[in-house]
């Protein structure tokens, strides 16, 4: 661990306590080995004037919801230091009441709630306090061999036993300060939790932190290379992956996405003969249990049995430790060791899955390091339960709140580079879905984001369609929804003049491609969460016109395909429906010139032509997208084989 301190950069904050605090906090936040997804906290004691001109001692502490990697001044909560010390000196105080009182002690009512460890920082009689859950420190304090040697290994630090964060931890520090235990010390190792360092100078406090972590890393380094096993990943069993996702989703009560880690380190960990023992002893630091639960599930050849055993174990763990005030959480794992295949992380969205994946990676490495140091011996079950079922976390359950309509569901949308397809993809994502958009246009690659994937695909090519399905499952863990929107429109030729190549191409793109996509997707849809397929048909199915035979026939065939699929797939719970739009003018297909020509042909103005339906309303791509989302969503979860017009009312159809 190396110091990132830069004198030139730091000099910008020489007369700005809070600015300096932001600077050094970001230095800590740059290392995942110190701070992971909001973990750790920092503070500075300073002063400011209140509205009456009175000088007030202020504790600026990292606010809840902020990350040290990117924190700004607004991310620090300005707490009245005097009130904080009075709270820490109380004999008893519930964590809920502590949070309430700290809220009242804020100098700025718009500021975020301060860290749960605010009172700990207040107790420490130094200007700057740095706290992290440094992997190396936690590993050593969770090592059977070294946990008893910490005093001699780190004589400059006070070693304290694990105490749950909140008021209990504040009392531990308050007592240590009042008894003089911090005298001459440069920091504190809280066993199983992390490291605190402190000084009246920001650079000194930060570099004391780096120095302690570096010492711990050097103790580990000799054994680390032999501790961490590595192995090459084999081909991922995609159908088994989709099955695991379905089973975990059912336990969670919500669709989940999976982040798959098949790195050499993850696969090596999954291949360890002792992995079922060492991976299920506890978390790297108890704070992680709020995100990851107490243990991962170990998935063997029978995933259903593995998950049933995990559920039973969680329920027994709850029964052993719970009181009447506790409500059991869902029994779904947050991560898994998939034997011989790697590590899986589950989340209701990609952000959660990614955060859990990072924690799982650090945990797997830390477990192996500690095991090599004489045995992995983390904080006990009761302590983990107190964090996972913390009073503050239990209160969140009662707040409820609705989840996004399609949260965690995984969709493929064809023709998603622009127009109706792009609007469909965006609307699905706005309701919580993870979307793979495909298109023959290279511009589709710009669709790729945290919750989306844009893939170039010629839907007339079966191999490319098969690859899209497999890449979707490998990326997100499964497949639930398909919106078949891509198509081509050929018009202006009567049948006697129609080029056979144009006929074949139209049927290939508008009909056969959709059949092939469904063919390769169906095995995964059968393992999907509330799975559905939607075909974008056309008003031409019910009201064809001359000169568009290939288009009209292909869309009619697509509609018939949907009817057959509705009957074939219903036993697997897969719904299949069709939407029939009329002309949608806010797409690339309708250039201003083409629109003007068509309006002139009918003897209408452009506005009259765009609203030539019974309701005299223009049909826009957003209208189609919203109906598509509704049809694949829960509103129509008992509808299959239906054909829904979105055309403003067509007298020929009616």
Taking only the tens place, the pLDDT of each residue in 311-339 is 999 999 999 999 998 989 999 999 999 99
Place of tokens 């993870």: 434
Return the structure tokens found at 248: 């975990």
At 597 the pLDDT is 86
pLDDT at residue 34 is higher than 70 = yes
Long-range contacts of 110-114 (CB under 8 A, 24+ apart): 111/63, 111/74, 111/76, 111/77, 111/78, 112/63, 112/64, 112/65, 112/66, 112/75, 112/77, 113/63, 113/64, 113/77, 114/59, 114/61, 114/62, 114/63, 114/64, 114/77, 114/79
pLDDT at residue 395 is higher than 80 = no
Q: Is 399 exposed, middle or buried (0-12, 13-18, 19+ CB in 10 A)?
A: exposed
- At residue 170, the 3 state secondary structure works out as helix
Give pLDDT tens digits for 538-576.
999 999 988 899 999 999 999 999 999 999 999 999 999
**Nearest one of 542, 553, 461, 536 to 502, comparing CA atoms:** 553
At 491 the pLDDT is 73
At 444 the pLDDT is 97
HSE at residue 355, side-chain half, CA atoms within 13 A, is 16
User: Cβ atoms within 10 A of the Cβ of 179, count?
Assistant: 9
Q: Is 551 a catalytic residue?
A: yes
The answer to whether the beta carbons of residues 408 and 577 sit under 8 Å apart is no
Mean pLDDT over each residue of the chain, to the nearest integer: 94
pLDDT at residue 225 is higher than 60 = no
Instruction: For residue 255, name the pLDDT band (cuts at 50, 70, 90).
Output: very high
- At residue 347, the 3 state secondary structure works out as strand
Return the structure tokens found at 154: 């780190």
Task: Please give the Cα distance from 248 to 612 (Å, whole number).
Answer: 50
pLDDT at residue 400 is higher than 70 = no
pLDDT at residue 598 is higher than 90 = no
Task: Please give the Cα distance from 498 to 554 (Å, whole number).
Answer: 14
Task: Please give the Cα distance from 463 to 208 (Å, whole number).
Answer: 58
User: Cβ atoms within 10 A of the Cβ of 389, count?
Assistant: 20
pLDDT at residue 27 is higher than 90 = yes
Instruction: For residue 152, name the pLDDT band (cuts at 50, 70, 90).
Output: very high
At 401 the pLDDT is 65
Instruction: For residue 640, name the pLDDT band (cuts at 50, 70, 90).
Output: very high
Name the least confident of 326-330, 415-419, 463-467, 506-510: 326-330
Taking residues 627-635, what's their average pLDDT? Answer: 97
**Nearest one of 623, 441, 408, 444 to 536, comparing CA atoms:** 623
At 402 the pLDDT is 81
At 565 the pLDDT is 98
Return the structure tokens found at 401: 């709140």
Percent of the chain with pLDDT over 90: 86
- Write out 432-472 in H/E/C secondary structure: CCEEEEEECCHHHHHHCECCEEEEECCCCCHHHHHHHHHHH
The answer to whether the beta carbons of residues 365 and 228 sit under 8 Å apart is yes
At 465 the pLDDT is 98
**Dihedral sign, Cα of residue 344, residue 346, residue 349, residue 351:** negative
Taking residues 100-107, what's their average pLDDT? Answer: 96
Give pLDDT tens digits for 15-25.
999 999 999 99
**Dihedral sign, Cα of residue 379, residue 383, residue 388, residue 393:** negative
Q: What is the DSSP-derived secondary structure letter of residue 512?
A: I
At 586 the pLDDT is 87
Give pLDDT tens digits for 491-532.
778 999 999 999 999 999 999 999 999 999 999 999 999 999
**Dihedral sign, Cα of residue 528, residue 530, residue 533, residue 536:** negative
pLDDT at residue 397 is higher than 90 = no
**Dihedral sign, Cα of residue 622, residue 627, residue 630, residue 635:** positive
Instruction: For residue 490, name the pLDDT band (cuts at 50, 70, 90).
Output: confident
The active-site residue out of 128, 206, 551, 609 is: 551
Taking residues 150-164, what's their average pLDDT? Answer: 95
Instruction: For residue 489, name the pLDDT band (cuts at 50, 70, 90).
Output: confident
**Nearest one of 503, 502, 439 to 465, comparing CA atoms:** 439
Cα-to-chain-centroid distance, residue 15: 39
At 224 the pLDDT is 67
Task: Please give the Cα distance from 75 to 69 (Å, whole number).
Answer: 11
Percent of the chain with pLDDT over 70: 98
């Amino acid at each position: 661990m190396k110091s990132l301190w830069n004198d030139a950069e730091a000099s910008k904050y020489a007369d700005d306590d809070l600015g300096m605090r932001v600077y050094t906090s970001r230095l800590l936040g740059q290392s995942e080995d110190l701070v992971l997804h909001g973990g750790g906290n920092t503070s500075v004691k300073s002063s400011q004037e209140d509205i009456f001109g009175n000088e007030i001692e202020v504790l600026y502490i990292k606010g809840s919801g902020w990350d040290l990697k990117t924190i700004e001044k607004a991310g620090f909560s300005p707490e009245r230091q005097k009130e904080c010390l009075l709270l820490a000196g109380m004999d008893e105080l519930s964590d809920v009441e502590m949070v309430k009182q700290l809220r009242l002690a804020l100098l700025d009512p718009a500021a975020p709630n301060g860290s749960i460890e605010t009172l700990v920082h207040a107790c420490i009689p130094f200007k700057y306090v740095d706290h992290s859950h440094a992997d190396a420190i936690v590993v050593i304090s969770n090592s059977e061999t070294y946990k008893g040697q910490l005093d001699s290994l780190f004589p400059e630090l006070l070693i304290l036993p694990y105490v749950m964060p909140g008021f209990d931890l504040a009392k531990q520090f308050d007592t240590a300060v009042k008894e003089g235990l911090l005298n001459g010390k440069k920091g504190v190792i809280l066993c199983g939790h992390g490291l605190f360092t402190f000084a009246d100078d920001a650079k000194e406090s930060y570099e004391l932190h780096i120095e302690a972590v570096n010492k711990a890393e050097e103790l580990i380094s000799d054994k680390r290379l032999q501790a961490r096993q590595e192995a090459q990943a084999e081909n991922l069993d995609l159908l088994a992956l989709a099955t695991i996702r379905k089973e975990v989703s059912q336990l969670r009560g919500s669709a989940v996405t999976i982040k798959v880690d098949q790195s050499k380190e993850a696969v090596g960990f999954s291949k360890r003969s002792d992995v079922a023992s060492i991976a299920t002893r506890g978390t790297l630091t108890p704070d992680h249990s709020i995100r990851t639960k107490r243990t991962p599930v170990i998935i063997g050849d029978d995933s259903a049995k593995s998950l049933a055993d995990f559920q039973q174990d969680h329920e027994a763990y709850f029964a052993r430790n719970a009181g009447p005030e506790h409500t059991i959480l869902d029994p779904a794992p947050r991560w898994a060791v998939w034997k011989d295949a790697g590590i899986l992380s589950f989340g209701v969205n990609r952000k959660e899955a990614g955060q859990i994946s990072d924690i799982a990676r650090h945990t797997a490495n830390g477990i192996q390091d500690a095991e090599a140091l004489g045995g992995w011996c983390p904080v006990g079950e009761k302590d983990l339960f107190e964090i996972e079922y913390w009073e503050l976390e239990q209160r969140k359950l009662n707040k409820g709140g609705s989840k996004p309509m399609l949260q965690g569901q995984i969709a493929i949308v064809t023709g998603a580079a622009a127009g109706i397809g792009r609007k469909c993809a965006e609307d699905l994502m706005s309701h919580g879905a993870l979307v793979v958009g495909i298109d023959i246009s290279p511009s589709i690659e710009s669709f790729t984001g945290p919750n989306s994937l844009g893939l170039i695909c010629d839907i007339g090519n079966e191999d490319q369609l098969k690859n899209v399905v497999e890449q979707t499952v490998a990326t997100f863990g499964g497949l639930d929804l398909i919106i078949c929107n891509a198509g081509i429109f050929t018009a202006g030729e009567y049948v006697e003049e129609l080029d056979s190549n144009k006929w074949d191409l139209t049927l290939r793109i508008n009909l056969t491609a959709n059949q092939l996509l469904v063919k390769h997707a169906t095995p995964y849809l059968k393992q999907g969460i509330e799975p559905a397929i939607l075909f974008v048909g056309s008003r031409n199915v019910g009201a064809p016109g001359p000169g568009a035979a290939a288009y009209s026939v292909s869309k009619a065939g697509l509609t018939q395909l949907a009817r057959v699929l509705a009957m074939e797939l219903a036993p697997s719970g897969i719904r299949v429906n069709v939407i029939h739009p009329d002309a949608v003018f806010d797409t690339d297909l309708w250039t201003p010139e083409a629109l003007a020509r068509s309006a002139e042909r009918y003897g209408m103005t452009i506005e009259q032509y765009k609203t030539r339906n019974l309701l005299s309303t223009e049909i826009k791509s957003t209208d189609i997208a919203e109906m598509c989302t509704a049809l694949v969503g829960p509103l129509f979860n008992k509808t299959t084989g239906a054909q829904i017009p979105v055309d403003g009312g067509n007298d020929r159809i009616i």
